[in-house]
Amino acid sequence: MTTEVDDTNRRDFIILAGNAFVAVGAASLIWPFIQQMNPDASTKALSTVELDLAPVKEGQAITAMWRGKPIFIRNRTKEEVDAANKVDVSNLPDPLARNDGLPANDPATDANRTKAGKENFLIMIGICTHLGCIPKGQAMGDSKGDFGGWFCPCHGSHYDTAGRIRKGPAPRNLEVPPYQFISDTKIKIG
């Protein structure tokens, strides 16, 4: 009797252990097949870009590329900076700064979306946070939306002069990439 119970327990254990090995084995075999689809080494290698902002005059905007994404750089006019500063941050749809160089909880003030002393330069990833279109507002004659910043024509998101979402379906402010001024006019993104 006891031997039989013993046998059953041993068999249960072997079946459980066997199944566990199969599960772990299957998972570790599947992992390379999933992981192969993530960004590869050559994609990750293109992680920093250096730019000279000296030719960008006040009121002008340029678009650079970083990691395959467009980077919006606008040398804002005094009026545009003032307009951005006047906004009450607590009333914004997204009150967070969305600045990769700052802690995640910092408020979306204009100062938190730019670098101290270089407030005229607004540098952002130019991808609408709704579904990834490139907003209009960089080129002369583009629609800049209801708030004088950028307007995404795909689904009608309006961003203000600090790149913050003000109206439309986009959930977040335009993201500020990690960057620093390496000289008075040069920046390094990434």
Partner 1 sequence: MGGHTSTYVPTSRWGKWFDERLPIARMMHGQFVDFPTPRNLNYLWTFGGILTFCLVAQIITGVVLAMHYQPSASGAFNSIEHIRRDVNFGWLIRNMHAVGASMFFVACYVHIFRGLYYGSYKAPREVLWILGVIILLVMMATACMGYTLPWGQMTFWCVTVITNLCSALDTIWQGLGTAIVEWLWGGYAVSGVTLNRFFSLHYLLPFVLCGVVALHIWALHVAGQNNPTGLDIKQPSDSVPMHPYATSKDIVGLFAFLLLFAWFVFFLPDYLGHADNYNEANPLVTPPHIVPEWYFLPFYAILRAFTGSFLGIPLGSLAKLMGVLAMFGAILILAFVPWLDTSRVRSTKYRPIYKWFFWLFAFTCLALGYLGSKPAEGVYVTWAQIFTTYYFLHFLVVMPVVGLIETPTKLPRSISEAVLGKSKGGTAPSGAAPAAAE
Evaluated on CA atoms 139, 89, 113, 165, the torsion sign reads: negative
What distances in angstroms separate CA 73 from CA 10, 37, 64, 161, one per listed residue?
A: 68, 31, 8, 12
Whose Cβ is closer to partner 1: residue 59's or residue 169's?
169
Contact call for residue 132 and partner 1 (CB under 8 A): yes
CB of 73 to partner 1, least distance (A): 13
- Report d(CA 66, CA 107) in Å as an integer: 25
Instruction: Pick the catalytic residue from 155, 171, 182, 183.
Output: 155
Indicate whether 131 belongs to the interface with partner 1 (CB under 8 A).
yes
C-alpha distances out from residue 40 to 46, 52, 125, Å: 11, 29, 21
190 binds partner 1 (CB under 8 A): no
Structure tokens at 48: 């920093």
Q: Is 133 in the site for partner 1 (CB under 8 A)?
A: yes
Please, what's the b/e burial string for 170-182 (b: 16 or more CB within 10 A of its CB; e: otherwise)?
beebbbbbebeee
Stretch that binds partner 1, among 4-12, 49-57, 63-71, 106-114 (CB under 8 A): 63-71
User: How many residues of this chain interact with partner 1, rule: CB under 8 A?
Assistant: 33
Quick one: 19 or 143, whose CB is closer to partner 1? 143
115 makes contact with partner 1 (CB under 8 A): no
CA atoms within 13 A on the CB side of 62: 11
Nearest to 176 by CA among 167, 165, 163: 163
Cα–Cα distance measured from residue 145 to residue 170, given in angstroms and rounded to the nearest whole number: 14
Q: Which of 67, 115, 118, 188 binds partner 1 (CB under 8 A)?
A: 67
Residues within window 140-169 making contact with partner 1, judged by CB under 8 A: 152-156, 167-169
Tell whether residue 40 is a contact of partner 1 (CB under 8 A): yes
Active site annotation includes 155: yes
The residues that touch partner 1, with contacts defined as CB under 8 A, are: 34, 37-40, 43, 63, 65, 67-70, 93-94, 127, 130-136, 152-156, 167-172
Active site residues: 155
